[in-house]
Structure 1
Amino acid sequence: MYEQLWLPMQQQLGPKNLGLLVWLDLVVRGESKTKQTDTYRVQQQRLEPLAGNEQALEMEIGELARRAELLRRILDPALEPHDELRQQLRHLARWGGRIHYPIALHLLDLVDAGRPQADEAARALGYVEGFLVRRMLCQASTQSLNRHFMWCWRAVLRRSSESCPGSSSRSWRTNHRTSRGKSPSDRTQLTNM
């Protein structure tokens, strides 16, 4: 297990990004309140019931290795095989922040599972980029945005009966027009959710 799964993952990501992966894995699993400094403690608690079950542990490490490949596509968008998604990941990478990593990893997870399509995931990431641009222009604090994005994402998916994140967001925008007939700003959208 170590030589087949863990070591290649560690070599490809390096120690810094391996720690990031382990934290992102928790966030995508719903542990969005976990601080990066608590990552290993929380993962250890999560995996403790599997102690002694070699097969279950191997499945967990296999899932982490699969997510490592997804994280590599976020860190290096040139590795992303879908054009629109690669372009959107490049846009977000140019910002230089990591605030979009949890939602991007979650989307790539979904794309790999066949829902949504890559172009729909790219559109959803475009909404994230738009939100970040507006926050920058308003000089708004970025504090707690990781948790905010994960909460918001779940709210959009719960409210929509559609399977596509991009169309869910688009549907939400369409159905929540302002009194002037325009789509609300991202801030208004997120506040209303």
Structure 2
Amino acid sequence: MIVGNGPVPQRAAAIIDAADLVIRFNDCRSCGAGGQKTDIVAVCNTGRPALAMLGGGLWKTNAAVRQAGEIWCVRASDTFRVLRPQLAASHPDLDDLCDDYTDGFRAFAKATGRAFHTVAASTHEGVDAALKQFDAGAYVVPSSGMIAIAEVLAHWRRPDDRVVLAGFGHAGWEWHPFAAERRYVDDLISRGRLSRLDQNTLSAFAQEPDTHVP
């Protein structure tokens, strides 16, 4: 179960918590209506979001982060190193977007006994290539959610696994290609690579033998 920070349908918490593995993002705002179980926290490890998480101590003591056994950094250092001079010319207001805090998250994971994983540049490149088929237009980088989905499908999904999304509204920062990402995700769903837990599919998930919705 990959749970974004967007709205999740009512009564989805039990279905999410029954998953074998739950991935959440950054400050795990999906906890609550989106259940509590958290196995992996995938973080945006560059720019202001990363600085905010590592500074001040609140993220490190977040209940979901404390529960997680693994931290993923979804932004490849090499990709953002190459991107920096390009953004300096095209988007000078995003001058801190490529500031890399991977080492800080690695140190936190090591100090707290968590596994640590960095998503390779090849995953980011693969997403960029795929989005071209869905009229992505001008954008800066794919969203962390899209990168995590691609990483799971490319390197972590086993043949008998079902990968389910919840809390993906495909909306937010203006420089993510959310409309194209939605079309890409819909295509993956149509090809049986993903499923989506939303208001339209909630009943079907709730009726499965091992799923209980109070």
- TM-score, normalised on structure 1? 0.27
Larger % of strand: which? 2
Larger % of helix: which? 1
- TM-score, normalised on structure 2? 0.25
